[in-house]
Amino acid sequence: MLNRRRMQIGAMVTALGVAVAMAGCGNGGSDDDGGDAGTEANAGTPVTIDYWGWVPGMQDLVDEWNEDNPDIQVNYSAQSAGDDATFSKITTAAQAGDAPDLVQADVKWVTSLLQYAQDVSDEAGQYEDNYTAGAWSNVSLGGATYGLPQDSGPVVMYYNKAKFDELGLEVPTTWEQFGATAQQVASQNPGTYLAGFSSDDVENLQSYVQQAGGQWWAIDGEEWVVDVTGEESLKVADFWQGLVDAQAVSPTKRWDPAFYNELANGQILSVVGAAWQAPLIADNAAATAGDWAVAPAPQWEEGAEVSANNGGSTLLVLEGTEHAEEALEFANWLNTNVEGLLGLGLFPATQGAEIATPENISEYFGGEDVYGLLAEASENIETPWLFPPTYGDLSKELTDGIAAVTNGETTLPDVLAGFQDSSLSAFEQADINATPAG
């Protein structure tokens, strides 16, 4: 299994190397596949796009497209979820030459799936202005584009306003204030926490680093640069380690049902989290409907407006398709269908679109324009974040490391130091060029 994984990653390096080389020529390179297909559809010959995704209810939007577009029919196949099993199914199908034309890919998977993706720079370029720069960076690597963004996870702060008022707390606008408030809450109200710091949501920690301006993995020319222990990362690590040492944050795991019980019971007062958290909080802590509100994420500098991204997905065009142009036409219709995506619980990655807060979310958060604030946050993501093709195994190591932090067995700065070494080793074992940040 491990050897197969290494082979996959090694092949991906070749794909990325090609992409980088092509960037120097300023050329996409998928004319052979997309051009013929476009002619076929434009001539009135119907084509069928095979599309795999996992969002419940997606078939309804596909049906809407199919009804209005008889020449480009989409055959949707619902997958179990955006999990490891789905990732394995995609890679197995691609290796067997039986991959769909279009596949939904978690942003964490993009570089791992790049070896199976098709360079559609020529066909996709016309759609770039429809999407935020941060989301576009998830599908455009090494100067080549492989698909379109679908949804994103801009980060804000959800908080229990009723409990804040009851305890006389001000909403923190800086991380310094956030830390002081966390210690105040924990010391004056044993068993109650301003927020949690859990081991099963390692992407949350990465979003904190991204907001601070850190970037653990980046591509420079034809090699990866690893900077897990940069200044910004250590600043974030020291901050959260201080709160863990002071027992000022809840260690309850993010995906444990107890997490929502603590939100509903007023034991955890806030969540600095992504767009997708809003409906989850509303659905799973329904007893506190109307008590909650939303605010921008705390800042490292007073007056700043920097956000980050946690989660989201893309639609990648896979290698071998004969209908890249039509696949992208459908993908752009779907991913700019703001009302449709919101109805499925996805926060669109579109740029400049009016994104109305769904009524149930507005009611839960005291009538506030939650999605309006999220849209502003999505425009304020200053630092890109790229997951490496070795991320699958690395994420497990980081999860274990943070669990050891919450158990008092090590410190977060030490975990990051080890993770820097592991990141470099993973690249080396996969025969991928990588270097530590200078």
Summarised one tens digit per residue, pLDDT across range 204-236 is 999 999 999 999 999 998 899 999 999 999 999
90: left (phi over 0), alpha (psi -120 to 50) or beta: alpha
| pLDDT given for residue 42 in this prediction | 57
CA-to-CA dists, residue 24 to 14, 18, 28, 117, angstroms: 16, 10, 10, 20
Residue 314: strand pairing partners:
105, 149
Asked if residues 274 and 155 have their Cβ atoms less than 8 Å apart, the reply is yes
What does the DSSP assignment read for 255-302? Answer: TSHHHHHHHHTTSB-EEEEETTHHHHHHHHSGGGTTTEEEEEPPBSST
Burial class of 144 by CB neighbour count within 10 A (0 to 12, 13 to 18, 19+):
buried
**Residue 384, SS3?**
coil
Residues in Cβ contact with 16 at an 8 Å cutoff, skipping those fewer than 6 apart: 111, 114, 141, 142, 219
The least confident of 45-49, 198-202, 409-413, 431-435 is 198-202
What does the DSSP assignment read for 341-367? Answer: HHHTT--B-BSS---PPPHHHHHHTTT
| pLDDT given for residue 19 in this prediction | 37
| pLDDT given for residue 389 in this prediction | 92
List, in sequence order, every beta strand (DSSP E) within 114-205: 140-141, 144-145, 147-160
Residues in Cβ contact with 45 at an 8 Å cutoff, skipping those fewer than 6 apart: 71
**Which tens digit of pLDDT belongs to each residue from 68-86?**
999 999 999 998 876 677 8
**Which tens digit of pLDDT belongs to each residue from 91-143?**
999 999 899 999 999 999 899 999 999 999 999 999 999 999 889 999 998 88
| pLDDT given for residue 113 in this prediction | 92
| pLDDT given for residue 88 in this prediction | 86
Residue 3 predicted with pLDDT over 80? no
Residue 21 predicted with pLDDT over 70? no
pTM: 0.86
**How many other β-carbons are positioned within 10 Å of the β-carbon of residue 388?**
24
Asked if residues 207 and 377 have their Cβ atoms less than 8 Å apart, the reply is no
Closest C-alpha to 102, from 139, 129, 141: 139
Extract the tokens encoding 15. Answer: 């794909």
- 322 CB-side CA count, 13 A: 9
Extract the tokens encoding 133. Answer: 């720069």
Better-scored residue on pLDDT, 49 or 5: 49
Residue 193: strand pairing partners:
268
Sheet of 223-226: strands edge to edge? 217-220, 223-226, 434-436
Closest C-alpha to 316, from 83, 34, 102, 49: 102
**Which tens digit of pLDDT belongs to each residue from 324-349?**
999 999 999 999 999 999 989 899 99
Report the alpha-carbon distance of residue 296 to residue 374 in Å, rounded.
8
Q: How far apart are the first and last CA of the chain?
A: 34
Q: What is the rounded average pLDDT for all residues in the chain?
A: 89
CA-to-CA dists, residue 92 to 95, 107, 118, 139, 277, angstroms: 5, 19, 17, 21, 31
Extract the tokens encoding 175. Answer: 């991380």
Average pLDDT over residues 366-372: 95
